[in-house]
Amino acid sequence: MEFNVKSGHPEKQRTACIVVGVYEPRRLSDVARRIDEVSKGQLSAILRRGDLEGKAGQTLLLHNIKGTMADRVLLVGCGRERELGDNQYRQIIRKAIQTLHETGSMEAVCHLTELNVRGRDTAWRIRQAIEAAQSALYTFDQLKSQQEATRRPLRKIVFSVASRRELQMAEQASFEAQKIADGVKLAKDLANLPSNHCTPTFLADKAKSLCKLHDNLSCKILTEARMKDMGALLAVAKGSKEKPRFIVLEYNNNKKKDPIVLVGKGVTFDSGGISLKPSKDMDEMKYDMCGAASVFGTISAVAELQLPINVVGIIPAVENMPGSQAVKPGDIVTSLSGQTIEILNTDAEGRLILCDALTYAEQNYKPDVVIDIATLTGACVVALGKYPHGLMTNHNPLTNDLLAAGKFSGDRAWELPLWDDYQSDLDSPFADIANIGGREAGTITAACFLSRFTRKYNWAHLDIAGTAWTSGKKDKGATGRPVPLLTQYLINRCSDDSSS
């Protein structure tokens, strides 16, 4: 898919389709009004007949509009003008792109980026339009024997800006958006692969291939023999014939700054181990490596953007299976930190691999910030649903930075408390810590567990169990989140560093 930005009058665009907005009730946007003028009222006449009310997401494809050089004009309902906000803007962009793709317009000029979105500038509108467009066109059909091909697919879209003064800003926004969208696609592709394809070894090989594309990117792969002190991680891997891999990606593009470390949970399939999960929807447990996938996607986007920053991606990759050698409820293991852990539930395995990865970050780097990303608890889905990530941190400025990046990118998070009151829920009579608390506040006690291994640096935990994928037959698949949030956070950090 090719994206461009430019400024120009809509009636002078030689293209397969011009896309313009209509507000509710039947009010032409400024660009649509210009087309109406050159067509001597054709659009107004169509609206008076009631063909389009202007409700958000409605579309009407028109042919033979006089005074234009386009083959078609696509009218897109935008809702009420004063109510046009972030989410509605993304929705109308996605609807416009889907309609273009399905109706044979192989290329188009879209003027929806000239709409007035409350509190947002041109750069934001361009960024969100490109990311929404890529999302709308995403498919995962690599493993189908016969792929369904659209006869005349959308191949090129030009997003319009109101004036030439905005072009430079819009072009930078377009560049950033395409790299972030590519990172999201990489995360989706990895997560959507089934576990017989996407194994810990496969992820390690993917890291190596990614490094070949970028001079500033390198990787280390630790095999089982080099993980001998990671007792918590190895306990999870014991029940599977698939060997664990500990993947470290290093992006270095700033000699003066300590690295930001991203730690992604990489359980390529989670059966629950001896504490076996119910069979219903267990196929979705291939998505238990979405944290790892998001680290791949973010590192890729950062490398493509050539951000002046140092980022380390750490991915503990394992498979959790109920084999004859599997760890059992009641077993006690020693983590890389030296703390002992009583494993009361083998299905609480993500925190076990993460705690060793978090300790590795402390022992091998001097991290400025550490952020872990994990499909960690079903309790987070119950608490927050599918819209925001659960966010818990030990550092208030980091909380604010991540929330702001999420709000700007549309990849939102919501803070949950990380109070010491919850720590006693993890007490064990036999070990330093139990790997689960009680029924209550499962998301928070999971983060409290991880906090025991992060006391020497600024740390944030993103629970993405409700946001990493969507269920259901039609729209099932990985979302690629939180690649937009993480990449925006890193972009913001670069801006802060340059201004300080």
The residues carrying an active-site annotation are 277, 351
Contact 435, 343 (CB under 8 A): yes
Tokens, residue 469: 């994928």
HSE value, Cβ hemisphere, 13 Å, CA-based, for 402 = 28
Residue 307, C-beta contacts closer than 8 angstroms, at least 6 positions apart: 253, 490, 491, 494
Contacts of 256 (CB under 8 A, 6+ apart): none
The Cα 345–Cα 436 span in angstroms is 7
Contact 72, 49 (CB under 8 A): no
> Residues with Cβ < 8 Å from 372, sequence gap 6 or more?
262, 263, 264, 265, 291, 354, 357, 358, 450, 459, 460, 461, 462
